[in-house]
Amino acid sequence: MQPAQITYHGVEPSEALTALIESRVAQLERVCGSIQSMRVLVDAPHHHQRHGNHFRVRVEMTVAGGDIVVGHDVDEHAGNEDAYAAVRRAFDAARRCVTTAQSRRHGKERAHTDRRPTIRHAR
């Protein structure tokens, strides 16, 4: 895979944040070896004085089966999340999407199909 393209919008690029993104990209490559290209966007769309900055992280991957796009948008009322937490959450979501896509590609069913028996509680 080519090196991941990291773009910052409204955020000052930092070496620590770039290092975190690169380490999470490496972890994702170990999970899915068919990643052809990856783009990561770190965005701070609003600057709030009282509630802190809100960050958006978008991960776009091109894999053998198609494109996977994952975005993590912070809730407007959760002012305690920083850029590092937003990156971690976005890459966690990307990992879930990649593993789900791999399972579907290999013909494995998901655990929560409609054929699963249900249990009803009597009152």
Within the chain, strands assigned E span 5-9, 35-46, 54-63, 66-73
| pTM, rounded to two decimals | 0.75
- pLDDT band for position 123 (50/70/90)? low
Please write the tens of the pLDDT for every residue from 45-92. 766 555 556 788 999 999 877 888 998 766 555 555 688 988 999 999
Please write the tens of the pLDDT for every residue from 3-22. 899 999 988 899 999 999 99
CA–CA dist 41, 56 (Å, integer): 8
3-state secondary structure of 107: coil
